[in-house]
Amino acid sequence: MKPLEMIFFEACLHEQLIAYDLSQREFSVRVIGNIFSRLGFPYKQLMYYVEKWSFKGFYEYGTTLDLGWFYIDKLFGEYKKIYEEMKERTYEHWNEREFSKYILEKSIKGKVTNYAIRNFYGIGEDEKFFGEK
């Protein structure tokens, strides 16, 4: 599994772990994909991963690919391992901001876009970058 797929999978799965009911979720796979896209990752590549998950049998979407859900009981291999690790952290140890920081830190360790680096370090916002108020 490529690093981008892993991070995107974690982000999408995390949202389902917080709220299983689609109507209770703050972010759909589409919204999460758009967030990643704004960070410079190709939306088409992200949807390739979603389609791959569907072919593997643990993601279902009805009529619109990016508005689907996971079948946790059908996860296997690397995906199940990621889920097991996330399950331990998600409910008791992470809130929304901590998960966002985790996603950014994971991407900082690998290849990242200029946009992500600017946001992480506050470059372009002089007060934040230089510690001024």
| Residue 127 forms part of a structural domain | no
**113 is a domain residue:** yes
How many angstroms separate the CA atoms of 47 and 133, rounded?
A: 41
What would the pLDDT profile of 74-104 be if each residue is shown by its tens digit?
999 999 998 888 877 655 455 555 666 666 6
Count the domains in the chain.
1
Query: pLDDT for 35-59, tens place per residue?
Result: 888 888 889 999 999 999 999 999 9
In terms of residues, how long is the chain?
A: 133
Average pLDDT over residues 12-40: 76
Maximum CA extent, the chain:
51
Distance CA 126, CA 112 (A): 22
Question: How confident is residue 72, by pLDDT bands cut at 50, 70 and 90?
Answer: confident
Q: Looking at the domain assignment, is residue 85 inside a domain?
A: yes
Maximum average pLDDT range among 7-21, 51-65, 76-90, 111-125: 51-65
- Domain assignment present for 130: no
> Would residue 126 count as lying in a domain?
no
Q: Is residue 27 over pLDDT 50?
A: yes
- Domain range for residue 49? 3-121
**Cα-Cα-Cα-Cα dihedral sign, residues 55, 23, 33, 97:** negative
Predicted model pTM = 0.65
Q: List the one residue out of 59, 61, 69 whose CA is nearest residue 22.
A: 69
Alpha helix locations (H) across the chain?
3-18, 29-38, 43-56, 77-93, 96-109, 114-121, 126-130
Type of residue at 5: E
